[in-house]
Chain A
Amino acid sequence: SQQGEEDPQALSIQEGENATMNCSYKTSINNLQWYRQNSGRGLVHLILIRSNEREKHSGRLRVTLDTSKKSSSLLITASRAADTASYFCAVMDSNYQLIWGAGTKLIIKP
């Protein structure tokens, strides 16, 4: 069953702006992961945040996790055309199963 839910479903911004995507979930988790998928291609792992972590950075990516609200956000700073892709959150539950959301489609306009 799908428990990760991304918001918004689609986001279109100008190059150079920041993009924020949110993910909500229902179960208790071991960790939460974010992936990027370019059109029709395989998913690429971006960042993993453990349940006892609140914030994590990787280059232009910043992920926050609020376990009390069962939510996470992915911030991409100074967006580039190459960031155009779909972004998925996936939560790993207590049985080590990864549960996926339906994704946010991000379009960066030049």
Chain B
Amino acid sequence: EAQVTQNPRYLITVTGKKLTVTCSQNMNHEYMSWYRQDPGLGLRQIYYSMNVEVTDKGDVPEGYKVSRKEKRNFPLILESPSPNQTSLYFCASSLSVQFLRGYTFGSGTRLTVV
């Protein structure tokens, strides 16, 4: 089944403890992106990647890191999480933005930083 898989689904952590949220897609998509969703704010892009080894900042990149060493994986790293990073996170992928297709989203990771 074609899908974007995020793990974990839920995570509670403490301030300052490094964490990684994994994202993997099995559709050979070139484009991948991370979003956070907060009540009343819609989706805000954190980072995106047009292809392997190519990553760019989105609207809210502060406090996050990403890497794209392989086409299928696009992990989101919080080196020192803070409570304002408590949010619902989504990974998404698309064949290629130039092909003007819709995005496939993962099921989300609900992160709480205490």
Contacts and interface: CB of A to CB of B under 8 A. Distances in A.
Interface of A: 1-2, 4, 30-31, 33, 35, 40-46, 48, 50, 88, 90, 92, 96-98, 100-103
Contacts of B106: 42
B107 interface: yes
Interface stretch (B13-21, B70-78, B79-87, B96-104): B96-104
B11 to A, nearest CB: 14
Contact of A96 (B59, B97, B107): B97
With a 10 A CB-CB cut-off, give which of A92, A98, A101, A103 has the most chain B CB atoms.
Answer: A98
> Which size class do B's interface residues fall under?
20 to 34
A100 B33 CA distance: 13
B40 A102 contact: yes
Interface of B: 4, 33, 40-45, 59, 88, 90, 92, 97-98, 100-108, 110
B108 to A, nearest CB: 5
Contacts of A44: 105
A94 B43 CA distance: 19
A40 B100 contact: no
Contact of B108 (A42, A90, A97): A42
25 contacts: A2-B44, A30-B100, A33-B102, A35-B103, A40-B88, A40-B108, A42-B108, A43-B90, A43-B92, A43-B103, A45-B103, A45-B105, A46-B102, A48-B100, A48-B101, A48-B102, A50-B100, A88-B43, A98-B103, A100-B42, A100-B43, A101-B42, A102-B41, A102-B42, A103-B42
Given A31-B100, A100-B43, A42 B59 contact: no
B19 to A, nearest CB: 20
